[in-house]
Structure 1
Amino acid sequence: MVASRPSVAFLAKIEHGCLILQDAGSDDDVSDWDPTSSSWYREGSSLIFSVQAGVDGPVECEVWKSAPPTVLPAKLFEASLPCSSGWLVLHDANDYVRMQFSGFRDSVICSVMVDDPQFPSKVQILLSAEGK
């Protein structure tokens, strides 16, 4: 099924050049992430990934729970994320940008698609239930 609009969308300058997607009940620490060795990192029920830094301009971000009409060209990563609360939070490192939305209970597959794998200015987070 193709959706006509995303579940969540925003355009913002992301100060530290990273976004965090996590279970709403998570207190996992992603500070061990080394962005020079990997564009993303997972710790428990939290994922952190690189985007364009705020000094280079805003990042356009969309969260989809079904297929978007047009998918961005590059897959940054795909990972399974535990989601025991059934809610996900997407935020920047300073919490200047923070969105909470319903996820999938137990576990969710997160595919992050971008326009540029090195310095993404457009991001699509595609969510689906584990096993579907």
Structure 2
Amino acid sequence: MVHNLVRSFVAPMEHACLFIRDVDSEASHDDWNPAEAPVDAHPDSILIGVQAGVDGPVSVKVWRGEPEAALSTTIFEGSIRLQSGRLSLHDPNEDIVVQVPYLGGGGPLSILVDDADYPTQVQVVLGF
């Protein structure tokens, strides 16, 4: 099996959140309560809770196909719509912004983490 690592970064995440969304998404996650659910998903935007920036950085890897060594906990399995064809991963302040271009209209996506409550490692697995 081919393992295709598309993007990788390590950074502190302000407000303990990571957005995974279409570059042009206008989805609001204002009603999300991380104490109730680790993920808030809209058709073109997903928000997950991660370790707070004050506690240390979070490692994020984006894979096309299965990761080389999959993390233990799946917190999201679904799909994402990409009207722009570009995926953006960022913290709420957009101090850290990483984009993945050339993804067409989107498709199946899974999010795996090392810890369901306070992830320090995140794998975004693109099935398209």
Q: Same fold (TM over 0.5)?
A: yes
- Separation of aligned partners in 2, 1:20 and 1:116: 17
Residue 36 (structure 1) aligned with residue 28 (structure 2): no
Identity of matched residues, %: 36
Cα offset, 1:68, TM superposition: 1.8
Cα offset, 1:37, TM superposition: 0.8
Cα offset, 1:128, TM superposition: 1.2
Structure 2 equivalent of residue 78 of structure 1: 77
CA RMSD of aligned residues (A): 1.4
- Separation of aligned partners in 2, 1:116 and 1:14: 15
Give the TM-score normalised by structure 2: 0.92
Question: Relative to 1, partners in 2 of residues 1:78 and 1:103: Cα closer, same or farther, differing over 3 Å?
Answer: farther
The gaps in structure 1 that reach 5 residues or longer are: none
Structure 2 equivalent of residue 95 of structure 1: 94
- Separation of aligned partners in 2, 1:73 and 1:97: 25
Give the TM-score normalised by structure 1: 0.90
Q: Structure 1, residues 8-34: CA drift from partner, whole Å, max 9, x if none?
A: 111111111110011112111122211
Check conservation: 2:110, 2:126, Cα contact below 8 A: yes
Cα offset, 1:97, TM superposition: 0.8
Cα offset, 1:56, TM superposition: 1.3
- Separation of aligned partners in 2, 1:104 and 1:79: 16
